[in-house]
Amino acid sequence: MLTGTALINELVDELNELKLSTMAATLDDLYHRPRFLEIDRLTLIAELIGPQFQEKISTTLKNRLTVAHLKGSPEELSDCVDSDKRE
């Protein structure tokens, strides 16, 4: 059974293989923090999932805005015109 750094490295590799690179980088970062062993389980899970979830939501929103063919930029959604109302 792997322990310590070897286990973390294997988990990071597995997360990368699953295309969860943000989660892999977060786990590696958390592991190298001085207080890693003091983090409670739920906080650890939240800190692992949170950034990956935000990246997924952001990518989904960006893709939907691209597919919508709105006039204007995502930063100015109030100025966007629906594609069926454009000239």
What value does the mean pLDDT take over residues 6-32? 95
CA distance linking residue 52 with residue 22, whole number of Å? 5
Q: Please name the helix (run of DSSP H) or strand (run of DSSP E) that holds residue 46, with its range, or none.
A: helix 41-68
Q: What is the pTM of this model?
A: 0.70
Amino acid at 38: E
- Share of residues in the chain with pLDDT > 70 (%): 77
What percentage of residues in the chain have a pLDDT greater than 90?
A: 63
R_g of the chain computed on alpha carbons: 19
Model confidence pLDDT, tens digit, residues 33-67: 999 999 999 999 999 999 999 999 999 988 888 88
